[in-house]
Amino acid sequence: MSQVRLVGEDRKMSLAIDMDSVKEVLLPDGKWHQITDDSFEIDTYQYLRAKKAQPGGDDAKVRLGGGQEEVLSACGARWIETNSNGKKRRVFCPITSIQAVSYG
């Protein structure tokens, strides 16, 4: 665990993020995206045609799986957010797109 001494204070800082406490995610669009239903998760990602391949499968119907290409991050994040009309949508992004998280 990384520790930083703050001037005039005896506090220790940790960069550990409790995924169950994440309430908002800041993306490159400059907006905070609010997490609904404590749905924030991090996992490897796959681009596939769900009707033809099973998530987590290693068959040829998976177009791109996390870690297949050296230059692409194998990790992604996902969550559910609710728009101003009350409609829920699932959001997926590479972990490198997350600029900050907030416990709200």
Would the pLDDT of 24 be above 90?
yes
> So what's the pLDDT on residue 37?
94
As a 3-state breakdown, the chain gives helix, strand, coil percent values, each rounded to 5, of 5, 40, 55
> So what's the pLDDT on residue 44?
82
Q: What mean pLDDT is predicted for residues 73-78? A: 84
Q: Answer yes or no: are the C-beta atoms of 32 and 26 closer than 8 Å.
A: yes
Q: Which of 14-28, 31-45, 70-84 has the lowest mean pLDDT?
A: 70-84
The model's pTM is 0.69
Q: Answer yes or no: are the C-beta atoms of 47 and 68 closer than 8 Å.
A: no
> So what's the pLDDT on residue 14?
73
> So what's the pLDDT on residue 74?
75
C-alpha 37 chain-centroid distance: 15
Which are the contacts of 16, defined by CB distance < 8 A and separation ≥ 6?
A: 1
